[in-house]
Amino acid sequence: MNKERFHNALALSLGYERIINDKRTTIQVDDSDDPWVTLKCQGCPEVVRFKASGEADAAMAEKISTMQDEINYIVDAVHQAYIQATTTPF
C-alpha cells in the first residue's frame, strides 16, 4: 500500500474541519501496510479500533452511541482511502 496516497485520500475524504478543528474525535493511524485505526471520542473512555482494510465491527461503533454517525462516517472514509491507496496504480 502507498502510505502517502492513503493519508492524502483520507485527508481529502475527512476534510480540514473534521481533522483539525473538530476536537471531539481523535484519529490515530498506525504506520504499516494495513494500518490499525483508533478513534477516541472526547469524554468517552471507550475506543473504536479497526483495520483500514476492513470495516469496523458495528458493536464497536455502538459503544459510543452519541457519536455513532460521526464514527460511521470516519470508518467509511478510512476504508475508501485504503481502497484508493491499494488499487490506484499512480
Q: What is the pLDDT of residues 29-42, one digit of tens each?
A: 888 888 898 888 88
Q: Whole-angstrom Cα distance, residue 29 to residue 49?
A: 10
Q: What is the pLDDT of residues 1-60, one digit of tens each?
A: 778 888 888 888 888 777 777 777 888 888 888 889 888 888 778 788 888 887 666 556
Burial code (b: 16+ CB inside 10 Å, e: under 16) for 24-60 equals ebebebeeeeebebebbbeebeeebebbbeeebeeeb
- Total domains in the fold of the chain: 1
What is this structure's pTM?
0.73
**Beta-ladder partners of 41:** 25
- Contact call for residues 48 and 39 (beta carbons, < 8 A): yes
Supply the range of the domain harboring residue 52.
3-87
Nearest to 75 by CA among 44, 43, 52, 59: 52
